[in-house]
Amino acid sequence: MAACGSSGEQPRGLTDYDYKLNVNAVLGASDYDAGTSIWVLEARSFNGTQLIRRYIEESFSVGSGGVIGFQLDARDLNTEDPPLDPRAYLAWHTGNAVAAGDIEVDNSAARIKVANSIGVFQTNPNMEFGVNRLASHTLLSWIRTDDLQTSMVPVFADQAVSAKASWTSNAREYAMDVALEPGWNFMYYGSGVETDWVLTARAATGSESFEHSPTRFITASGQVEEISGVSWSAEHEYLNDPNPTSWHAYYTPGGSAQLYVNQWLGFGETTAVMVPFDQIYPGALDSSNVSFDPPEAVGLIAAPFGYAVGEAGMPGWHHDPSRALGRIAMASGAGNYVMLVYADRDVTVSFTGPVSGILGSSLSAGHADLELEFGWNRVEVVSVGVDVVQLRTTYEFSPVWGLVGP
């Protein structure tokens, strides 16, 4: 590993221009209103291998016609914590598939700052309901060619630095060949020459165009080869209508690698799908022995369906569960069924007596309150006896998902 200045050259000084990144984007009419704001999520520090992130002050506004245009100044990042060692961040960026100590850099003195994400919020992320993870959309800069479509991460370097490494993950070969110039850069995965993929970077231009897309909530990992498309409906609509409204759908030519859903449902057409909590699970949570605090809370239970290659993408496919291979189910690491529940605010669900109809079972006597947070909640259905279950919130990614029949 070469030390800084090994070539005899001194690092050049940064100019005011080097610190600033011009961010430009345009939101659609249904993607913002007068209260919409833009927030930058910085990569702040590490706790072991865990990256600590936070939204920086101040936020940016959306202009007339949905036009976004602002300057991101690197001097506004990491004001309370020192800049990052590039090796630590690069290791995290690979999912710790390669250790920081195994990444070779040619300038050990270089430090970086990372705009880990740029979020579009319909409500202030500092409001009482802990919305730090509930941006409705994310602004991303993309590379789009005939052979490659990939998003990029803005990275600021205080000095030039190159980083190299190689690793294998899921039977694919990866290489790291990241050359950061002083100032702003964009880091991304591209197609490799001697490997399947290469993590690389390019210097930022004076002004960068960003696109907006709904933020994703990854509900389950693992690949299900026979499923090419996923359509999401609400449980309460599906139980009352064989052709419920699909409020989110996507498909890929091959098998789906992850199960995901829009992270924020509080804006636009999905608002109409949510109902008061005593209506989200007919035949179970509409019992007089169940109460909700606050009573005005609304939400839904997700009902996903999987579609085969060749069916997904056809006209109207996502609005017709009869064409699906079957209902998709998620399971915890312990093998318990996991329900995906959305709440428009923090909700306490209390049980004052017997409740039946939960997947054909009854809740255990004296069931504790179920605390749901604003946004998506994974609720694990845990068997504690013959046809007796408990409901528990879990933060675990569901490692198992698949079809449960037509």
Choice between 129 and 364, residue whose per-residue pLDDT is larger: 364
* Residue boundaries of the structural domains of the chain: 20-214, 216-403
Q: How confident is the model at residue 130 (pLDDT cuts 50, 70, 90)?
A: very low
DSSP β-bridge partners for residue 155: 114, 185
Query: Around Cβ 129, how many Cβ atoms within 10 Å?
Result: 14
Statement: residue 39 has pLDDT above 80: yes
Query: Around Cβ 54, how many Cβ atoms within 10 Å?
Result: 17
Q: Pick from 161, 156, 162: which is nearest to 176 by CA?
A: 162
Q: Pick from 115, 93, 85, 112: which is nearest to 21 by CA?
A: 115
Q: Which residue matches tokens 């630095």?
A: 161
Mean pLDDT computed over 365-391: 94
What is the C-alpha separation between 202 and 190, in angstroms, rounded? 11
CB-based contact 220:400 (threshold 8 Å) = yes
Q: Pick from 225, 185, 226, 183: which is nearest to 324 by CA?
A: 226
CB-based contact 187:165 (threshold 8 Å) = no
Q: What is the pLDDT of residue 6?
A: 40
pLDDT per residue as tens digits for the range 267-309: 766 667 899 999 999 999 999 999 999 999 999 999 999 998 7
Radius of gyration of the chain (CA): 24
Q: Pick from 366, 219, 373, 385: which is nearest to 304 by CA?
A: 219
Tell whether omega for the bond before 58 is within 30 degrees of 0, i.e. cis.
yes
Tell whether omega for the bond before 321 is within 30 degrees of 0, i.e. cis.
no
Q: What is the pLDDT of residue 11?
A: 57
Q: How confident is the model at residue 257 (pLDDT cuts 50, 70, 90)?
A: low
Cα 229 to Cα 2, 304, 324, distances in angstroms: 49, 10, 9
What mean pLDDT is reported for the chain? 88
Q: Which of 221-235, 252-266, 347-361 has the lowest mean pLDDT?
A: 252-266
CB-based contact 263:133 (threshold 8 Å) = yes
Choice between 251 and 360, residue whose per-residue pLDDT is larger: 360
Q: How confident is the model at residue 250 (pLDDT cuts 50, 70, 90)?
A: confident
Q: What is the pLDDT of residue 405?
A: 63
pLDDT per residue as tens digits for the range 9-28: 555 689 999 999 999 999 98
Q: What is the pLDDT of residue 7?
A: 42
pLDDT per residue as tens digits for the range 75-129: 999 999 999 999 999 999 998 999 999 999 999 999 999 999 999 988 766 544 4
Q: DSSP string spanning 39-54?
A: EEEEEEEEETTEEEEE
Residue 35: is it exposed, middle or buried by C-beta count within 10 angstroms (0-12/13-18/19+)? exposed
Q: What is the pLDDT of residue 318?
A: 87
pLDDT per residue as tens digits for the range 133-181: 578 899 999 988 777 788 999 999 999 999 999 999 867 899 999 999 9
Q: What is the pLDDT of residue 55?
A: 87
DSSP β-bridge partners for residue 356: 362
Q: DSSP string spanning 200-264?
A: EEEE--SEEE-EEEE-EEEEE-S-BTT--EEEEEEHHHHHH-SSPPPSEEEE-SS-BS-EEEES-
Choice between 320 and 45, residue whose per-residue pLDDT is larger: 45
Q: What is the pLDDT of residue 79?
A: 94
Rounded to whole angstroms, the maximal C-alpha distance in the chain is 78
The H or E element containing residue 18 is helix 16-19
| Dihedral (CA of 401, 325, 404, 372) sign | positive
Q: What is the pLDDT of residue 254?
A: 60
Q: Pick from 69, 57, 61, 109: which is nearest to 86 by CA?
A: 109
The amino acid present at 5, given as its one-letter code, is G
